[in-house]
């Protein structure tokens, strides 16, 4: 499932490739993926220019110059491709947005969606999201305050989108490893120093992964060599039984709140 780095990487590429372009056509092969009937969806989008692509947590928000917004959630299995019909992957697109130059294909949208909204509706839909991990006001102290009063284990708390938006199952494990903190430590046991380390680890892990194209394996355009390189940087996620790159200990897999969790018991100690 794409998280902050994957969606931020996609956002940057989309800004380069479709930013400022006018939508000249829309094709909807899976009506369940949109929130309006296909004709209304077309009327609300065709002729508009995409002037900005914003990321909010794991969502992308396309700003159209007609005052509308397109809210995208890729969810598990979803991906995008920018290019011409003869370049796109073989698998069918659930939605195609055509621009005067190149098209944007939405692939694998089984659980994901693309909703056409007014600005107010978009803000209402996103209002429960917590601050962005890179928000300048979110210093280590403000970060710790987002988890005040939580009683459960730390890892599930980090993936709560209302606390901080954009962290999911993979990067929660990675940032905890970098900070040297066990995923199952109860939130109240994390001290100020622990929050400071975790805050720093959050920012560096997410930024480095985004700069390396995130972990999604599917190319975003023909000749794309950037997307997915961050998979090789993962230190613990999906590396059960492998040596810890930090200390040489053995990475273990466990389950927390029903989600698989990877950590190194040798160097991730307490809080």
Question: Which of 124, 242 has the CB closer to Zn ion?
Answer: 242
In whole angstroms, the minimum distance from the beta carbon of 47 to Zn ion comes to 55
**252 near Zn ion, judged by CB under 5 A:** no
In whole angstroms, the minimum distance from the beta carbon of 229 to Zn ion comes to 23
Contact 113, 73 (CB under 8 A): yes
Number of residues that bind Zn ion (CB under 5 A): 7
**264 near Zn ion, judged by CB under 5 A:** yes
Q: Is 3 a catalytic residue?
A: yes
Question: Which among 55, 58, 98, 155 is annotated as catalytic?
Answer: 58
Q: Which two tokens stand for residue 185?
A: 């430590």
Among 244, 256, 261, 263, the residue binding Zn ion under the rule CB under 5 A is 244
Question: Which of 33, 198 has the CB closer to Zn ion?
Answer: 198
Helix (H, G, I), strand (E, B) or coil at 30: coil
**234 near Zn ion, judged by CB under 5 A:** no
Helix (H, G, I), strand (E, B) or coil at 42: helix
Question: Which among 146, 203, 259, 260 is annotated as catalytic?
Answer: 259
**129 near Zn ion, judged by CB under 5 A:** no
Q: Is 68 a catalytic residue?
A: no
Question: Which of 119, 247 has the CB closer to Zn ion?
Answer: 247
In whole angstroms, the minimum distance from the beta carbon of 262 to Zn ion comes to 11
Contact 107, 79 (CB under 8 A): yes
**266 near Zn ion, judged by CB under 5 A:** yes
In whole angstroms, the minimum distance from the beta carbon of 266 to Zn ion comes to 5
Nearest by Cα to 237 from 218, 212, 209, 213: 209
**267 near Zn ion, judged by CB under 5 A:** yes
Among 192, 247, 257, 269, the residue binding Zn ion under the rule CB under 5 A is 247
In whole angstroms, the minimum distance from the beta carbon of 246 to Zn ion comes to 4
Nearest by Cα to 1 from 62, 92, 74: 74
Question: Which of 192, 247 has the CB closer to Zn ion?
Answer: 247
Which residue's entry shows tokens 């294909």? 105
**246 near Zn ion, judged by CB under 5 A:** yes
Instruction: Output DSSP code: residue 36.
Output: S
Contact 165, 201 (CB under 8 A): no
Would you put residue 270 in left (φ > 0), alpha (ψ -120 to 50) or beta? left
**Strand runs (DSSP E) across the chain, as ranges?**
23-28, 50-56, 59-64, 68-73, 79-83, 93-99, 103-107, 113-118, 252-256, 259-263
Contact 270, 185 (CB under 8 A): yes
Point out which residues bind Zn ion (CB under 5 A). 244, 246-247, 249, 264, 266-267
Q: Which residues are the active-site residues?
A: 2-3, 58, 259
């Amino acid at each position: 499932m794409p998280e902050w780095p994957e969606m931020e990487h996609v956002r940057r590429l989309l800004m380069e490739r479709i930013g400022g372009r006018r939508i000249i056509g829309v094709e909807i092969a899976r009506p369940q993926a949109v929130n309006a009937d296909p004709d209304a969806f077309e009327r609300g989008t065709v002729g508009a220019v995409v002037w900005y692509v914003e990321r909010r947590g794991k969502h992308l928000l396309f700003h159209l110059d007609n005052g509308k917004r397109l809210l995208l959630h890729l969810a598990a299995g979803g991906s995008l491709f920018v290019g011409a019909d003869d370049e796109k992957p073989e698998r069918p697109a659930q939605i195609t947005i055509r621009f005067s130059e190149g098209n944007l294909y939405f692939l694998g949208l089984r659980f994901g969606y693309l909703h056409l909204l007014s600005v107010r509706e978009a803000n209402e839909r996103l209002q429960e999201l917590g601050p962005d991990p890179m928000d300048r006001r979110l210093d280590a102290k403000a970060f710790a305050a987002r988890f005040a009063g939580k009683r459960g284990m730390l890892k599930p708390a980090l993936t709560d989108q209302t606390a901080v938006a954009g962290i999911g199952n993979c990067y929660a494990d990675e940032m905890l490893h970098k900070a040297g903190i066990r995923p199952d430590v109860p939130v109240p046991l994390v001290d100020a120093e622990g929050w400071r380390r975790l805050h720093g680890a959050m920012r560096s892990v997410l930024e480095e992964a985004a700069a390396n194209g995130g972990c999604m394996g599917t190319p975003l355009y023909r000749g794309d060599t950037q997307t997915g390189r961050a998979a090789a940087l993962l230190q613990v996620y999906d590396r059960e039984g492998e040596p810890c790159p930090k200390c040489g200990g053995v990475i273990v897999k466990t389950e927390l709140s029903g989600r698989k969790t990877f950590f190194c018991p040798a160097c991730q100690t307490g809080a």
